[in-house]
C-alpha cells in the first residue's frame, strides 16, 4: 500500500525557489555506457497498478458470466424471476471483488504467491454468499431462489478464481523476468548511503523495482563508480536525458533530510521529469507518522513528487480522447472538407502542414495543421513567429488561423495518440523569443512536458494564445500549463473542452 502526507512534500514553489540554474543549461550529453544502458529497456511495460486493475475487472467478468451461464442452464431467462437473478449475480460479483480488495488480495505479493492468498479468496467468496443469504433471509425471499444454482455458482466461481490466480502468477513472473512489468528506478546520490538503500530494496521479496543505475555529481573519490554492483552512469544533469530515454518511473534521492540545500538543488533540476520522486527515509533519524511514508516492501520513502495522470487516470484520459476526437472528426468533417478545397484553390502546395514539436517526455512529435502559409515561405522550425499581417500567410490562411480552423486536423493527432485533446499546447522545437529558446526564457519550462500536449489547453482558455512575442507571455502560458498539470481531472478536461469554442470568439491574438 502507498500512503503519503502532503505536509511532508517539498512544494513545487520551494523547489523552483532553490538556488541553481534549473533546466536552462542543465542538460548534458550521456556517456556511451549510459546510452547503452538506457537503450536496453523495453517500452511496452505495464505497472503493477494496471495489472491488478485488469485482474479486478477479469475476476468480476468471470463471476458474472459463470453465474449467468448457470442461471440460464438451471432456471432459464424466461422464468418469473428473470430480472432478479441477474441483478443478484451482478451484485454478488461486485461484492466479492470488494471483499478481495479489503483482504489485500490484489497486492503484488498476493499475485506472485497465489498459495498464500487462496485462503483469503475462499473466505471472501464465502463471505459474499453469507451476505447474500442474510439479505434474502431478512427480505423473506430465500425460498424463491434455487439452492442448487447458487451452490453450483459457489463451486464454479471459486474454481475459476483459483485457476485465474494460478495462471496470472505464472504470467506476472514471466513479465517480471523479461522486463514487461517493473518500475524502473534510479538512485540519485552515491556512496555508503546509496549502498545501504540498494541492499535494503534488494532484500524486499517480490518487489517490482528494477534499479537502473546511480547518478551523482560528486567525483569518484567521494562517490565510488560502482555501488552495490550498480554503475554510476553520470551526473544529475545527465540524468535528465537518461530518464527520458530509459523511461524511468522513479527517482530515489539517497540524501539525508538534513542536507536540505543540496536536496532542493537536486529537485530543482529533476522536478521537470514525468516520474515519481522519492526521498529515501530508511536511514534518517527524523520520524514521521506512518501515513507520511510510502513503501517499497518495508523500506520507507517520503513522497516528493508524483507522476501526473498515471495508471488508471491515463486510461480514462485516453478513452476521453478517443471518444471526443471521433466526435470532433464527425462534427467538423464538413468544415475540414471545405477548408481543404479552399486551400487547394487559393495557393499551390499541400493541404496539410506537418510541424515537429515537443511532446510528452520532451519527445519530438509531428503535429498536423491545415497549411496557412505559402509553401515556399513556410517555417517548419517556427524560428520566426507569425505576426499580424504577416506576408507569408495566404488569404485562406489568414481566415482559418483567425478562426483556429487550421488546428482541426489535430483531432487525428489526438485519435492516434501523439496529442491529447486537452493539455499544454505543443510548441515547435525551435520556437524562440528574442533569439532565445523558450526553455532559456522560462526556468522549468520542460515541466510542461510531464503530460501529453493538447489540442486545446487551460492557457488558451485564459487568453494566452497566438504570438509569443514577449518573455512575459511565455511565462504566463507556462504558469497556466503547470496549473493544469497539478490540478488535472476529467471534469477539468471537460470544462476546458466546452469553454474552447466560446474563448475562440476572442480572436485578438490569433493571426
Low-confidence residues of the chain: pLDDT under 70 = 1-28, 42, 44, 76-82, 142-144, 256-260, 282-293, 379-387, 430-444, 465-469, 505-511
CA pair distance 192, 322, nearest whole angstrom: 49
The three grid cell numbers given for residue 197, joined into one nine-digit string: 538503500
What does the alpha-carbon distance between residue 104 and residue 92 come to, in Å, rounded to a whole number? 19
At residue 434, the pLDDT reads 43
Other beta carbons within 10 angstroms of residue 387's beta carbon come to 13
Q: Who's near 394: CB < 8 A, 6+ residues apart?
A: 343, 346, 347, 371, 372, 373, 374
Instruction: Give the pLDDT confidence of 249-277 residue by residue, as tens digits.
Output: 899 988 766 666 777 878 878 888 888 88
pLDDT at 14: 41
| Gap between the Cα atoms of 433 and 502, Å rounded | 29
Identify each DSSP E strand in 306-416 by its residue range: 352-358, 364-370
d(CA 125, CA 91): 13
Helices 395-402 and 312-346 pack at an angle, to 10 degrees, of: 150
Output the nine-digit C-alpha cell for 377. Answer: 515561405
E strands present in 90-182: none
State residue 441's pLDDT score: 52
Cβ–Cβ under 8 Å, residues 71 and 89: yes
H or E element at residue 411: helix 410-416
Model pLDDT, residue 13: 47
Q: Whole-angstrom Cα distance, residue 463 to residue 465?
A: 6
Rounded distance, CA 120 to CA 196, Å?
35
Distance from the first to the final alpha carbon of the chain: 51
Nearest to 493 by CA among 280, 314, 246: 314
Half-sphere exposure of 355 (CA within 13 A, CB side): 25
Cβ neighbours for 499, distance < 8 A, ≥ 6 positions apart: 461
Distances (CA, A) of 82 to 66, 85, 87, 145: 16, 6, 9, 11
Q: Are 368 and 410 in contact (CB under 8 A)?
A: yes
Rounded to 5°, the CA angle 427-44-160 comes to 135
* Cell numbers representing residue 61 in the block: 467478468
3-state secondary structure of 280: strand
C-alpha cell belonging to residue 149: 444454482
For residues 382 and 54, give the distance between their C-alpha atoms in angstroms, rounded to a whole number: 43
Is residue 27 within 8 A of residue 241, CB to CB? The reply is yes
Residue carrying C-alpha cell 451476505: 131
The number of helix segments (H) and strand segments (E) in the chain equals 17, 14
Contact 176, 202 (CB under 8 A): no
Q: What is the pLDDT of residue 194?
A: 86
**What is the pTM assigned to this prediction?**
0.74
Tally the residues of the chain. Answer: 511
Q: Give the pLDDT confidence score for residue 76 in this predicted structure.
A: 66
pLDDT of residue 22: 40
Amino acid at each position: 500500500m502507498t500512503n503519503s502526507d502532503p505536509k511532508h512534500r517539498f512544494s513545487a514553489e520551494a523547489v523552483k525557489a532553490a538556488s541553481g540554474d534549473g533546466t536552462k543549461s542543465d542538460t548534458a550529453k550521456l556517456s556511451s555506457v549510459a546510452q547503452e544502458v538506457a537503450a536496453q529497456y523495453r517500452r511496452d511495460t505495464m505497472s503493477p497498478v494496471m495489472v491488478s486493475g485488469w485482474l479486478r475487472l477479469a475476476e468480476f467478468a468471470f463471476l458474472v458470466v459463470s453465474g449467468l451461464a448457470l442461471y440460464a442452464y438451471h432456471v432459464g431467462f424466461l422464468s418469473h424471476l428473470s430480472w432478479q437473478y441477474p441483478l443478484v449475480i451482478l451484485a454478488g460479483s461486485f461484492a466479492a471483488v470488494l471483499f478481495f480488495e479489503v483482504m489485500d488480495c490484489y497486492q503484488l505479493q498476493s499475485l506472485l504467491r497465489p498459495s498464500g492468498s487462496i485462503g483469503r479468496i475462499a473466505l471472501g467468496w464465502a463471505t459474499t454468499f453469507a451476505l447474500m443469504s442474510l439479505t434474502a433471509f431478512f427480505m423473506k425471499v430465500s425460498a424463491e431462489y434455487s439452492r442448487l444454482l447458487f451452490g453450483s455458482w459457489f463451486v464454479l466461481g471459486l474454481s475459476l478464481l483459483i485457476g485465474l490466480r494460478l495462471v496470472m502468477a505464472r504470467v506476472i513472473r514471466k513479465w517480471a523476468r523479461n522486463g514487461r512489468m517493473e518500475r524502473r528506478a534510479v538512485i540519485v546520490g552515491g556512496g555508503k548511503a546509496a549502498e545501504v538503500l540498494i541492499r535494503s530494496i534488494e532484500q524486499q521479496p517480490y518487489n517490482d523495482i528494477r534499479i537502473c543505475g546511480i547518478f551523482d555529481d560528486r567525483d569518484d573519490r567521494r562517490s565510488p563508480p560502482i555501488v552495490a554492483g550498480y554503475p554510476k552512469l553520470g551526473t544529475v544533469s545527465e540524468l535528465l536525458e537518461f530518464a527520458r530515454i530509459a523511461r524511468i518511473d522513479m527517482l530515489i534521492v539517497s540524501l539525508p533530510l538534513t542536507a536540505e540545500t543540496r536536496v532542493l538543488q537536486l529537485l530543482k533540476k529533476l522536478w521537470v521529469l514525468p516520474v515519481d520522486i522519492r526521498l529515501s527515509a530508511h536511514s534518517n533519524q527524523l520520524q514521521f507518522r506512518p501515513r507520511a511514508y510510502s513503501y517499497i516492501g518495508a523500506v520507507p520513502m517520503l513522497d516528493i513528487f508524483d507522476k501526473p495522470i498515471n495508471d488508471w487516470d491515463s486510461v480514462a484520459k485516453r478513452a476521453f480522447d478517443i471518444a471526443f476526437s471521433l466526435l470532433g472528426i464527425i462534427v467538423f468533417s464538413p468544415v475540414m472538407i471545405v477548408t481543404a478545397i479552399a486551400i487547394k484553390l487559393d495557393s499551390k502546395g499541400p493541404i496539410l502542414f506537418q510541424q515537429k514539436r515537443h511532446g510528452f517526455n520532451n519527445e519530438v512529435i509531428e503535429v498536423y495543421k491545415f497549411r496557412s502559409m505559402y509553401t515556399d515561405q513556410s517555417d517548419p522550425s517556427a524560428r520566426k513567429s507569425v505576426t499580424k499581417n504577416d506576408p507569408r500567410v495566404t488569404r485562406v490562411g489568414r481566415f482559418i488561423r483567425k478562426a483556429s480552423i487550421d488546428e482541426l486536423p489535430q483531432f487525428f493527432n489526438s485519435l492516434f495518440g501523439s496529442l491529447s485533446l486537452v493539455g499544454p499546447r505543443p510548441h515547435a522545437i525551435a520556437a524562440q523569443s528574442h533569439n532565445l529558446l523558450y526553455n532559456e526564457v522560462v526556468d522549468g519550462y520542460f515541466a510542461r512536458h510531464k503530460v501529453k500536449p493538447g489540442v486545446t489547453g487551460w492557457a488558451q482558455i485564459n487568453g494566452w494564445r497566438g504570438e509569443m512575442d514577449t518573455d512575459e507571455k511565455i511565462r504566463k502560458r507556462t504558469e497556466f500549463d503547470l496549473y493544469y498539470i497539478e490540478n488535472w481531472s476529467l471534469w477539468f478536461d471537460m470544462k476546458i473542452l466546452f469553454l474552447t469554442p466560446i474563448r475562440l470568439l476572442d480572436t485578438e491574438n490569433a493571426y
